[in-house]
Amino acid sequence: MNPKNKNIILSFDLDYTLIDNTEGILNSFKFALEKHNVPKLDDDSIKKMIGIPLNEMFLRVSGLDPSILSASFRKFYAEKGIYQVKLYSGVYDKLNDLRKYFLLGVITSKKEEMAIKLLKFLKIDHFFDYIFGESEQVKSKLDLKLKSILLSRYPNHDFVIVGDHPNDKLLSEMLNCPFIGVLTGHHQKEQLIKKSNEKYLILEKMINIDKNLIFSFFDDNFNDIDD
């Protein structure tokens, strides 16, 4: 089958894939630690944890109930941190181009309502056919309920996962679909392809994606590619 006739969905991670929200996340994390008298962490230690669920981040640094710390984080983030964000250069135009050929979606570890609010603030929410984050229905991007929702909502579609974090690669494994790793986050190429069972590409940044790279995933002669 000609790959251009396939129904393909590009599903993007948010932090360090489409956006740089470092300032907002760092300030929100530090606020929560200070409020609950948890010893301070340096910026690099916090950055390395970005991309995993918030409760897990706090479990790594404190013996307190992580939900208490997460609540303080989210309060600060909702009021201030969410606005301390910027799109990576070229992302708006690249999304506008890619949607001519593919459906687009977002799967993030953020709270779903917060992700929607942030995407609206950045004026890119209209590009996406779905936005999934942590919710009562879906607990994480690796929740099997998410797989069921996606496959039932989009039957006969092919997914491609795009992200900067090893959990994004694991999501592609869960969905049995190709993976594009981008190096705009805090993880090296080796971490993004470790024990990969699916087709993958490693690119310097999201804007290096083009339609022919995506179509190549569905070519029988595909070879794994690094930028």
Per-residue pLDDT tens digits for 185-207: 888 888 888 766 789 999 999 99
pTM of the model: 0.86
* CA neighbor of 15 nearest in space, from 164, 142, 190: 164
CB 25 within 8 A of CB 50: yes
CB within 8 A of 12, min separation 6: which ones?
18, 104, 105, 106, 107, 162, 163, 206
Q: Which of 34, 58, 83 is the last residue of a domain?
A: 83
Q: What is the pLDDT of residue 1?
A: 40
Condensed to tens digits (0 to 9), the pLDDT of residues 58-110 reads 999 999 999 999 999 999 998 999 899 999 999 999 999 999 999 999 999 88
Whether 130 and 61 share a structural domain: no
CA distances from 201 to 89, 137, 225 (A): 21, 31, 5
Query: What is the C-alpha to C-alpha distance for residues 192 and 227, in angstroms, rounded to an integer?
Result: 14
What's the pLDDT at 223?
A: 66
- By residue count, the chain amounts to 227
- Is the same domain home to 136 and 218? yes
Report how many domains make up the chain: 2
Domain with 180 in it: 3-20+87-226
Residues sharing a CB contact under 8 Å with residue 27, sequence separation 6 or more, in sequence order: 76, 80, 81, 84
Q: 177 and 110, same structural domain? A: yes
